[in-house]
């Protein structure tokens, strides 16, 4: 199984493709360099396979590369960051 996480700026979300099929997304509201994450969804066919974690990890890695910050309003993104403190430096309270 191959994962690809890519941003879809037109839809304000990062999407994950699993073997070229759209498997899920995490939506955001842009606030300059800060992205406020509001909702994450994984297609039922891909749940409990690590797709959600791969999506959030890939998303946060891309945000880190470009020097951005996040506000994790989405409970899934917030829980991921809590479990993976190496991403804690990306969190800001300033939207």
Domain containing residue 67: CATH number? 3.40.630.30
User: Can you give the residue range of the structural domain that contains 15?
Assistant: 3-90
Is 95 domain-assigned? Answer: no
Q: Which residues contact 4 (CB under 8 A, 6 or more apart)?
A: 16, 17
pLDDT tens digit string along 54-85?
A: 999 999 999 999 999 999 999 999 999 999 99
Asked, for residue 29, whether it belongs to a domain, the answer is yes
SS3 state of residue 79: helix
- Whether 16 and 51 have beta carbons less than 8 Å apart is answered as yes
Q: Are 33 and 24 in contact (CB under 8 A)?
A: no
Closest by CA to 5, choosing from 54, 77, 47, 67, is 54
Asked if pLDDT for residue 95 goes beyond 70, the answer is no
């Amino acid at each position: 199984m191959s994962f690809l996480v890519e941003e879809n700026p037109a839809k304000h979300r990062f999407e994950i493709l699993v073997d070229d099929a759209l498997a899920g997304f995490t939506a955001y509201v842009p606030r300059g360099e800060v992205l406020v994450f509001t909702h994450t969804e994984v297609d039922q066919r891909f749940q409990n396979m690590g797709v959600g974690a791969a999506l959030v990890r890939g998303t946060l890695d891309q945000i880190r590369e470009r020097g951005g910050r996040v506000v994790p309003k989405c409970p899934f993104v917030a829980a991921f960051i809590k479990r993976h403190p190496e991403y804690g430096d990306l969190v800001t309270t300033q939207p």
